[in-house]
Amino acid sequence: MQFQECRSFTAIFARSAAGGQRKGGGVTAWRDVVDRAAAAIGPINPTLLRHWHNEMDDVEHRVADLDPSWVDAAHASPADGLHALVALAVARLGDMWEPRQLVDVAAAVELAYRASHQHRRVVNGFGHDGSHASGVRPNTQAVLDGDRSITQAAVLVADVGPEAYRLLVRGYGATQVGQLCDAPAPTALVEAAVGLGALVAGVSAADIDRLWSEVGLPPEGRSTPAAVFSWVRAEVLAPSSPSASR
């Protein structure tokens, strides 16, 4: 049984490296995150809303393909999709982007979040007793699942370029070091999503500085990308958020 699972994972990883994508069922609707954002920040242009719905579908299917363990409802988190939405929103500050690359970086930051989440479960003492269906103890399984997620994320951003790889690694590294040192960095991956979305869309440093400055403005003074970014940061920092304790 365990050997079969390893063979299955090897096949999934090879498909990822080759750039393949399977759109399957059994995943929750991340497009609902877009609707949650719209309800919180106010009306979003219908055309933009439609594009984000479609892109979130693509990101969700990409992640489900690369991390099948997360299809289990027990792993679902209210933070699922939030990091991806930030990357999609920030890309709108640019003029053009390669759709595949945008989906890839959005999926990568979600996979990095999942890796952090899995490793945090071990830090919190999850699953000392019992065993996974494969015969692997739960703590070990959580570590392996997290390692798989961050490996898949690294493959995705490596295909985009070295700067994308650096952005993801810095965000993930800050999250992990925060866990080790009991100094949580809950928004590190959100900030990585900002950088990744900006990178693939050619957003200038001046536009990113403007985005950050708009976060401090009253809601009516924010652009849609800034409003989405601000909302996601608030969601991640909320005490009930799975990321807030990171």
pLDDT for position 246? 42
Spatial contact of 139 and 122, defined as CB atoms under 8 Å apart: yes
Residue 158, number of CB atoms within 10 A of its CB: 14
Using CA of residue 155, residue 156, residue 159, residue 160, what is the dihedral sign?
Answer: negative
pLDDT tens over the chain, length 246 residues: 343 444 444 443 434 433 333 334 444 589 999 999 999 999 999 999 999 999 999 999 999 898 876 555 556 677 899 999 999 999 999 989 999 999 999 999 999 988 877 656 655 565 444 444 444 456 666 666 666 778 899 999 998 999 999 999 999 889 888 777 777 788 999 999 999 999 999 999 999 999 999 999 999 999 999 999 999 999 998 865 656 544
pLDDT for position 1? 39
Spatial contact of 109 and 87, defined as CB atoms under 8 Å apart: yes
Spatial contact of 109 and 84, defined as CB atoms under 8 Å apart: yes
Find the Cα–Cα–Cα–Cα dihedral 218, 208, 31, 168, rounded to 10°.
-130
Burial readout 177-186 (b: 16 or more C-beta within 10 A, e: otherwise):
ebbeeeebbb
Residue 28, number of CB atoms within 10 A of its CB: 15
- Using alpha carbons only, give the angle 172, 178, 184 rounded to the nearest 5 degrees: 105
Statement: the pTM of the whole predicted model exceeds 0.85: no
> Rounded distance, CA 92 to CA 151, Å?
28
| Domains, the chain, ordered by start | 2-237 (1.10.600.10)
Spatial contact of 193 and 83, defined as CB atoms under 8 Å apart: yes
pLDDT for position 186? 87
Tokens, residue 75: 């792993």
> Rounded distance, CA 11 to CA 14, Å?
5
**Amino acid residing at 123:** V
